[in-house]
């Protein structure tokens, strides 16, 4: 029996596991790093133990410390969540040797699926269909490249020990191979301590469909239907749904049976996911098996009514599966949208900061929010930037999609840049509504998705400007003596016998927008403004009350929630999720480097590699330097032809966000 459970993880998955454990009357133990001392999962647990410094390798990956603390606290079982130690066979064996239940599969199953190349060989022997590719042990570049040349481009390089898009690169032609291979190997070694690579044929219009499987120690196995996880960016899922749209019953059964075949080939126990590529003709191919609970498991729970964590704990205690295949039912449709702290307009660069405003939609039987943070928490550089998972259910896909869009509109976050507006644009895209899903969906519709974002920003410029003006007036009023409050302190734009005109520069992401604001009066002598953008001039009036903005633009009244922190604004309603800054007027100072491009570090991170030598000429678009932040590599590229004069940091050194990384002279500047 499991009476006391240690959750060897953090964030939303730790909170998710504890929720079920508490429902079952099981005591919980949290572990935490320096960065997580005040984290939500720590507050939820009955007991919590400190592991060490913030970096994962010094805390959440310290299997020895976790076991030591588990024994000291009389823990019966350890749930690893996902990521970190969840697919670490050595940790599973360590639990077993210390008489602690590992809530997951046997170490032998983890080992079998831990190497993608070994997994492919096992699946081939078991009769599970495979994508054409090279999964051998010869890792010479010439061997890997010859395999790619033989199967034809495009190909996909994949870390054999990988997952979550780490150590993965698409290669579209022979000339890209070496650079892509080196990058994939570096990222794989940094993430998994292993740079063994696979080469697979890259299907150009596949869907990513995965089967949730469950097995027990009594030889029983079932599949809990499928999830479509095709909509991804950088090989990481952002919107998942269940069941997969346009899935025929015959394909569902064939894929489910193949997944059970895969699980039984390695004597699997517990929750697992078998991932397939589904081609246009209905053929499907094994990709990999994740020997843990998936991030997107809630959509399966929503359509089946089952608690998969409860199933995990029951199976870990040695019980038979709660239901047979015939007893499992599929009801309705569910979506999961992953809410990330990242900037989609800047190549999905992760964002760090304090969550000054965190207002999720109201939860119900139809809407679920799985999160590990609360308002005031910090999204740090040390861990994955996912804030929450927003999950909705509907009687049909159309109804569920409407609920998803409405719930996204109700999700308001300030303090970091998020992907919420991007998720809304994806979910409202006509191709997504029509379920025209492929793993290249974002790339295929990229232009339309981001053109729509720019149109949305242009349309909201008058509202952003009036918020900035009203907030400034409000702050001047606060600065005055309340007892002698007078119009002079609210006058920011007032001039005797004349209207006053000023220009505001609004920064949204990396793009600046200039608006002209002219203070006028309505017929009833109330204040109003004429605001001119590149597209139009409109009359605007409004007022702020606490964090509410009531505004009228060209005769149309609207309401917004807003947040302000250190000059950064957030503006939100059902149709708007915009973060912006009012740029201070230039003081006209000279900058001797003003002709050079900004090579500042986009965020805190570690320098991975210099890709060129100082004094070496580079071409526009050529990668110069690679840094790693928040578990992903980011390349700094040359903005033009030129020369790298010097690097300010060496590989392995930590850098702060905003630090200058290198000195670069463009070819034009050299010519001058």
Distance CA 33, CA 52 (A): 5
pLDDT reading at 585 higher than 80: no
For 321-462, strand residue ranges (E) read: 333-340, 342-343, 349-350, 353-354, 357-359, 367-371, 378-379, 386-394, 412-414
Least confident of 111-125, 434-448, 465-479, 481-495: 481-495
pLDDT at 667: 79
Q: What is the mean pLDDT of residues 394-416?
A: 97
> Is the peptide bond preceding residue 407 cis, with omega within 30 degrees of 0?
no
Task: Report the CATH number of the 4-103 domain.
Answer: 3.40.50.20
Percent of the chain with pLDDT over 70: 92
- The two three-digit tokens of residue 432, written as one number: 């997504």
Task: Report the CATH number of the 605-671 domain.
Answer: 2.40.50.100
- Confidence class of residue 599 from pLDDT cuts 50, 70 and 90? confident
Residue spans of the domains in the chain: they are 4-103, 132-201, 207-444, 461-583, 605-671
Distance CA 312, CA 402 (A): 32
Q: Which residues of 632-666 are buried (b: 16+ CB within 10 A; e: fewer)?
A: bbbbbebeeebbbeebebeeeeebeeeeebbebeb
Q: What is the mean pLDDT of residues 415-442?
A: 95
pLDDT at 477: 61
Do residues 229 and 276 lie in contact, with contact meaning Cβ atoms separated by under 8 Å? Answer: no
Instruction: State pLDDT tens for residues 325-358.
Output: 999 999 999 999 999 999 998 888 899 999 999 9
pLDDT at 164: 67
Q: What are phi and psi for residue 398, nearest 5 degrees?
A: -60, -45
* Contacts of 198 by beta carbon, 8 Å cutoff, 6+ apart: 116, 117, 120, 133, 134, 135, 157, 158, 159, 160
Q: Of 427, 513, 523, 390, give the one whose Cα is nearest residue 462.
A: 513
- What DSSP assignment string belongs to 335-371? EEEEEEBEEGGGTTEE--EE-SEEEPPPP-SSEEEEE
Q: What are phi and psi for residue 512, nearest 5 degrees?
A: -100, 140
Instruction: State pLDDT tens for residues 248-295.
Output: 999 999 999 999 999 999 999 999 999 999 988 888 999 899 999 999
Task: Report the CATH number of the 207-444 domain.
Answer: 3.30.470.20
pLDDT reading at 496 higher than 70: no
Half-sphere exposure for 405 (CA within 13 Å, toward CB): 14
Domains 207-444 and 461-583 agree in fold = no
Instruction: State pLDDT tens for residues 1-18.
Output: 999 999 999 999 999 999
Distance CA 272, CA 264 (A): 11
Residue identified by tokens 């139809």 is 366
Higher pLDDT pick, 438 / 652: 438
Instruction: State pLDDT tens for residues 202-215.
Output: 887 889 999 999 99
Distance CA 394, CA 302 (A): 9
pLDDT at 660: 85
Do residues 358 and 422 lie in contact, with contact meaning Cβ atoms separated by under 8 Å? Answer: no
Distance CA 317, CA 474 (A): 61
- What DSSP assignment string belongs to 110-136? HHHHHSHHHHHHHHHHHT--B-SEE--
Instruction: State pLDDT tens for residues 160-177.
Output: 887 667 889 999 999 999
State the DSSP code for 641. Answer: S
Distance CA 44, CA 13 (A): 12
Residue identified by tokens 């492929």 is 438
Q: Which of 10, 16, 207, 292 is catalytic?
A: 292
Residue identified by tokens 């060496």 is 650
- Confidence class of residue 586 from pLDDT cuts 50, 70 and 90? very low
pLDDT at 500: 67
Q: Please say whether the structural domain 461-583 has been given the CATH code 3.10.20.30.
A: no
When the pLDDT of each residue in the chain is averaged and rounded to a whole number, the result is 89
Do residues 352 and 381 lie in contact, with contact meaning Cβ atoms separated by under 8 Å? Answer: yes
pLDDT reading at 149 higher than 50: yes
State the DSSP code for 169. Answer: E
pLDDT reading at 489 higher than 70: no
Q: Of 272, 252, 405, 271, give the one whose Cα is nearest residue 330.
A: 252
Q: What are phi and psi for residue 242, nearest 5 degrees?
A: -145, 140
Least confident of 135-139, 164-168, 408-412: 164-168
Distance CA 377, CA 374 (A): 6
Handedness of CA 310, 401, 411, 352 (dihedral sign): positive
pLDDT at 499: 52
Task: Report the CATH number of the 132-201 domain.
Answer: 3.30.1490.20
**Ramachandran region of residue 135, left (φ > 0), alpha (ψ -120 to 50) or beta?**
alpha
Q: What are phi and psi for residue 573, nearest 5 degrees?
A: -160, -170
Do residues 631 and 646 lie in contact, with contact meaning Cβ atoms separated by under 8 Å? Answer: no
CA 190 to chain centre: 19
Handedness of CA 42, 13, 167, 65 (dihedral sign): positive
Q: Which of 473-482, 520-529, 535-544 has the highest mean pLDDT?
A: 535-544
Instruction: State pLDDT tens for residues 14-41.
Output: 999 999 999 999 999 999 999 999 999 9
pLDDT at 501: 81
Distance CA 182, CA 41 (A): 38
Active site residue 292: yes
| Alpha helices (H) along 130-206 | 141-151, 177-192
Distance CA 399, CA 416 (A): 30
């Amino acid at each position: 029996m499991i009476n006391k459970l240690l959750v060897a993880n953090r964030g939303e998955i730790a909170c998710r596991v504890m929720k079920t454990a508490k429902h079952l009357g099981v005591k919980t133990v949290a572990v935490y790093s320096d960065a997580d001392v005040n984290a939500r999962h720590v507050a939820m647990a009955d007991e919590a133990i400190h592991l060490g410094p913030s970096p994962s390798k010094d805390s959440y990956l310290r299997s020895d410390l976790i076991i030591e603390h588990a024994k000291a606290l009389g823990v019966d079982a350890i749930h690893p969540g996902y990521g970190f130690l969840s697919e670490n066979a050595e940790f599973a064996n360590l639990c077993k040797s210390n008489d602690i239940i590992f809530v997951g599969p046997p170490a032998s199953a983890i080992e079998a699926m831990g190497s993608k190349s070994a997994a492919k060989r096992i699946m081939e022997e078991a009769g599970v269909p495979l994508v054409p590719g090279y999964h051998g042990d010869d890792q010479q570049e010439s061997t890997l490249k010859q395999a790619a040349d033989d199967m034809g481009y495009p190909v996909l390089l994949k870390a054999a020990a990988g997952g979550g898009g780490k150590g993965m690169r698409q290669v579209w032609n022979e000339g890209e191979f070496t650079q892509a291979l080196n990058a994939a190997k570096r990222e794989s070694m940094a993430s998994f301590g292993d740079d063994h690579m696979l080469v697979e044929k890259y299907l150009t219009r596949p869907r990513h469909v995965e089967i949730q499987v469950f097995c027990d120690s009594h030889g029983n196995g079932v599949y809990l239907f499928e999830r479509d996880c095709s909509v991804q960016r950088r090989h990481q899922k952002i919107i998942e749904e269940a069941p997969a749209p346009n899935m025929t019953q015959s394909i569902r059964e064939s894929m489910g049976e193949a997944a059970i075949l895969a699980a039984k080939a390695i004597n699997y126990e517990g929750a697992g996911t078998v991932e397939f590529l589904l081609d246009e003709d209905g053929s499907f191919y094994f990709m990999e098996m994740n020997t843990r609970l998936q991030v997107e498991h809630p959509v399966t729970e929503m359509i089946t009514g089952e608690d998969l964590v409860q199933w995990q704990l029951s199976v870990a205690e040695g019980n038979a599966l709660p239901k047979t295949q015939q007893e499992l039912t599929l009801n309705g449709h569910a979506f999961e949208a992953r809410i990330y702290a990242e900037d989609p307009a800047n190549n999905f660069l992760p964002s760090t900061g304090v969550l000054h405003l965190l207002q999720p939609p109201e939860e119900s039987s139809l809407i679920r929010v799985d999160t590990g943070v609360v308002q005031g928490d910090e999204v740090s550089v040390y861990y994955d930037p996912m804030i929450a998972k927003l999950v909705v259910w509907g009687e049909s896909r159309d109804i569920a999609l409407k609920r998803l869009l409405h719930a996204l509109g109700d999700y308001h976050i300030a303090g970091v840049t998020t992907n919420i507006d991007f998720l809304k644009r994806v979910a409202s895209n006509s191709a997504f509504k029509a379920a025209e899903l492929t793993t290249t969906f974002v790339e295929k519709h990229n232009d339309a998705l981001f053109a729509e974002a720019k149109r949305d920003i242009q349309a909201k410029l008058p509202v952003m400007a009036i918020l900035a003006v009203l907030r400034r007036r409000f702050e001047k009023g606060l600065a005055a003596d309340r007892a002698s409050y007078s119009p002079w302190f609210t006058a920011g734009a007032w001039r005797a016998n004349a209207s006053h005109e000023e220009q505001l520069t609004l920064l949204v992401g990396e793009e600046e927008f200039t608006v002209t604001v002219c203070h006028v009066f309505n017929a009833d002598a109330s204040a109003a403004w004429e605001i001119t953008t590149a597209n139009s001039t409109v009359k605007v009036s409004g007022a702020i009350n606490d964090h509410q903005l009531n505004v009228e633009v060209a005769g149309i009244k609207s309401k917004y929630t807003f947040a302000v922190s250190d000059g950064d604004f957030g503006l939100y309603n059902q149709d708007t999720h915009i973060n912006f800054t009012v740029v201070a007027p230039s003081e006209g100072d000279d900058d001797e480097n003003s002709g050079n491009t900004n090579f500042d570090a986009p965020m805190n991170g570690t320098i991975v590699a210099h890709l060129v030598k100082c004094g070496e000429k580079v071409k526009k678009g050529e990668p110069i330097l690679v840094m790693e932040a928040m578990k992903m590599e980011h390349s700094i590229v040359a903005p033009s032809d030129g020369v790298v004069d010097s690097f300010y940091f060496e590989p392995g050194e930590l850098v702060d966000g905003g630090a200058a990384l290198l000195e670069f002279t463009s070819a034009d500047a050299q010519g001058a």
